[in-house]
Structures are given as structure tokens and as C-alpha cells.
Amino acid sequence: MAARLRVAVGAVVVAALFIATPATAEDFASCWVSVETDPLLGRERTVTRCRIAGGDVIDYASDHSVPSRLYPSAGVDLGGDCWYLTSAEGQWIYLGLYVNGDATLGWLPDPDHPEAIIFATGRIPRCTSEPGVIADPSIEVWEYVNEYIHPPPAPDVNPSAGNGVTGLKTFVGVPVPADHATQLSAAGVSVDIEIEVSGVIVDWGDGRTETFPASGTAMAGYPDGIATHVYERKGDGFDLAVSYNWTARWRIVGEPWEFLDVPNTTTSLAYPVNEIVSVITD
Amino acid sequence: MIRRLIAGLVVVGLAIGVWALWPRGEPDPSPTTTVNAVGSSTTSIRVASRTTGSTAAQTHVVTTVEEAEEILRALWFGWFEGIYNQDEERIKEVVGSQTALDSAEAQFGVMEFSAPPTIEQVSLSGTELLFSNAECFVAWATIDLSGFREGSSSGVHVIRRRDYAWVSVGLWDMKEDLWQQDCESQLEPLS
């Protein structure tokens, strides 16, 4: 019995040794094409090169197991916007594929709703050098907008801080940035961006907050501006805050606008308010 | 009783006869839909506008190595002939992409020939048919040139059908390379 058991166990071990483990394909971070001229034929010959995830650059299908499926993605190589293939499933899909290797890709945020393609790249070439990844054009848009709106307001308060008095108007003036519109290329698509200050919010620090029109006239400060406030009680330092209320929107050229939830930029200052009390003396 | 039995048999016989002769709705075999082997007198593989076409060629699927080699030989001869004569129209007959046309034009006056090319000097070997349908076929092949240029070159040739003729659209390095998309892509007019 024991001998039979040993034989059986041995057979299982031997079988396990000989059962081939399924080959696991490498993860290809990106595959692009290298175009070389065949010296005999004088014709362009396409070689696919791939960066193995976390590893070397190899020739596709040279002596490596290849992924069962590759997905398109948009990126940027030395020549500019381009498309490449990767084994990581993303949100780009083919909208058009041309015989010279160009493609048009669409951005599909929700695979369950293939009709909801947010935008399409223009016709872009296949990457011919290792691409940099741009997963989402809105990232570039977001970076651009945040860089633009970074400077906070620089308010001019009259009377100046330390000279505020109850019962007298305090004026706040602040320069209002002009409306800004631009077009840039992000991840292979041309996008329109519009940025504007849609209002100036003044928190007077005593419990009252007002929003004023974002115009140079309204925010001209003393004496013609309309951003004024009368403090009714004194305080050692009201937290007076002036904010630009930004509105930023972007779109793929020809597509509907999308708004970005941009935070206000704010400048705060301590604003003491004194009280002048009349005293009748003899 | 016997009469009824005979009458019944006659009815059954008639029914069987009608069933046997009734058309089945299968397509009528027509000479234009017959796919013939290479070498058959009715097969027409239209390449480079130098051979005549037929309805059969429009739906013909390349299935044999010999057939693929015949097409490849004609295409590559057209390629070299066009370059030798610096004939853009000849190149347009054999290529299906602007990239290939530009490559050929870049070779005008540059590629060296020891003699005018002839189709007999273009030979193929080691050919494997990797993919084939009515609109596209892909073959691994080694092209050997002699007489006008000397040497050999192996690669994956992607051939598409355009206007009922075969044209070359891609040349890839390896059999397992990403040539599949060349068969699915959109052909465009050459300028």
C-alpha cells in the first residue's frame, strides 16, 4: 500500500514538473514604430519597439511573449502629438485608422456608455519614438488654468488698515484681470479655454459678505468704486477678505463647453476699526 | 379498398416527385463566382493595371503561396520599374499609401540599377501566407533580386485591394508584428 502511495505521489510530482506553466505576456508600457528604409527595396520598413513595463526597450515579437491585446493611447513624442499602443486598457478608442498609420482616437470616460465619447483627437500620426503619456487632456487644461489664476487679488483699502473708523465708509478697490481666452493643444487635441473673473467677493469680516461686479469701474476703490462698507462697531482686526470668483471653461474645438471647478483666489488682511466718540467738554 | 390504396400511393408518389424537383434556393453556380487555382485560365489576379480584371477578381481570396508570390512579384517589379523610369504613375499603380509613394519618389535618381529591371529577375522564396481575405492579404516572403540589383530582403508584405487591383501598403519586420491594422485601415487617394 505504502509503495503504491509512493508511486502515486511520485507520479503527481513528476506530472507537476512537466505541466507547462502558461506563458505570461510582458506588460508593454508603450509600443511605437521605428521606420527604417530597407536598403535593397528602398522602401520604408516598420519595426515595432516596445518599452516593457518597468524594463527595457525591445523589438516587439522578437523573442518575447507579446500581450494578447494592445490598446491605443494618445501621447507626445519628439515629433509632437501621436498615438501608440499599450497593454494597459485605457479610455482611448479608435475612431479612425488610416493606411499610412495615422489614427483618430476618441476619449471614452465610461466604457459602459460607448456613445458618450467626450472628444476626439485630430488625425495624429503613430508615435515614432518613445511617447510621453498624456492620459487626459483635461489635466493639461487644469494645469494651465491654475497657473493663470494663481496671482491673488491685491486690494487697496481706504481708509488704510489701522485707520478704519466706525460710521465711515471703507472702500475696497482691486484690479480686475481681463477676460482671457486661448487655444492650446493637449494630448493631441485642440482645446479652447476661457477664463474670467465673474465677480469680486468681499468678506468685510464683521459678518457681512458682498459680491460686486468684476469691472474696473465697480472695483475702482476710493472715491468712485461701489465696494464700500460701513462698520458699525469697532474691532481690533476684522478679517477682511477679497476674493476673485473665477469662471473657467474649456472645450475641444467644436464640442460643448465644460466648466472647471476653480477655487477662488483670496487675499485676507486684518482691518482694525476704531471708534471715534465725541466728548463734550466745558 | 384497393383503389383507395392505389390512389393514396399515387398521391404520395406525386408529392415525393414534386419535393425532389422543387428548387432548394441555393445559389446558381456561376462562372463569375468560381474561385480558381493559380494557373487556371479563368483566374484573373489584377495587379498594377497590367493584367485584365474580371468579376471573379473582385471577390477573390488569395489562398495559395504561388498566387501570393505572383502578386508580390508583379507589385515589386512595378515598384522597381517605376523607380527606374522615375514614373510616378507606375508607382501609384502598385502602392496604396502616400508614405510608400513618397518613399518611391525619394528613390528617383538615387537607387542604383545595373540594368533595367525585368519581372523575371524578381523572385520570391520562403513565402508564408499569414492572413488573407477578399480585401487584404499578408505574406511573409523573401525577395531575391538579380540582374538589375543584387540581394535579398525578408519581411511581412501587406497587400490591399484597391479598385479591384492589389496594391502594397505596408512592409513589416517580423511575422508577429502589428501588421493587422494595415488590413483594417482606411485607404486614401494618393496625391
pLDDT at res. B58: 60
* CB-nearest partner of A40 from B83, B149, B188: B149
Q: Using one digit for the tens of pLDDT, what is the confidence trace for A46-73?
A: 988 888 887 888 887 765 666 668 899 8
Q: What is the mean pLDDT of residues A151-176?
A: 93
CB contact under 8 A, A97 and B175: no
Q: Cβ contacts of residue A69 below 8 Å, gap of 6+? A: A87
Q: What is the mean pLDDT of residues B71-94?
A: 97
Residues of A in contact with B182 (CB under 8 A): 99
> Tell me, what DSSP letter sits at residue A273?
E
A189, A121 contact by CB (below 8 A): yes
Q: If you search the block for the grid coordinates 481681463, which residue do you land on?
A: A178
Q: Residue B52 above 80 pLDDT?
A: no
pLDDT range class, residue B2, cuts 50, 70, 90: low
pLDDT range class, residue A39, cuts 50, 70, 90: very high
Q: What is the mean pLDDT of residues A14-23?
A: 35
* B76 vs A25 pLDDT, higher one: B76
Q: To probe the interface with A, which of B181, B182, B183, B190 has the most A CB atoms within 10 Å?
A: B181
Q: Using one digit for the tens of pLDDT, what is the confidence trace for B101-144?
A: 999 999 999 999 999 999 999 999 999 999 999 999 999 999 99
Closest to A70 measured CA to CA, from B31, B118, B176, B97: B176
User: How far is the alpha carbon of B153 from chain A, nearest alpha carbon, in Å?
Assistant: 7
CB contact under 8 A, B149 and A101: no
- To the nearest 10°, report the CA torsion of B19, B21, B25, B28: 160
State whether residue A224 is helix, strand or coil: coil
**Residue B145 corresponds to which cell in the numbers above?**
533580386
10 Å CB burial of residue A195 (0-12, 13-18, 19+) is buried
Q: Please state, in angstroms and rounded to a whole number, the distance separating the CA atoms of residues A144 and A148.
A: 6
- Residue A40 touches chain B, beta carbons under 8 Å: yes
Q: Residue A42 above 70 pLDDT?
A: yes
User: How far is the alpha carbon of A197 from chain B, nearest alpha carbon, in Å?
Assistant: 46
Residues composing chain B: 191
Q: Which residues lie across from B121 on neighbouring strands? A: none
What is the value of ipTM here, to two decimals? Answer: 0.71
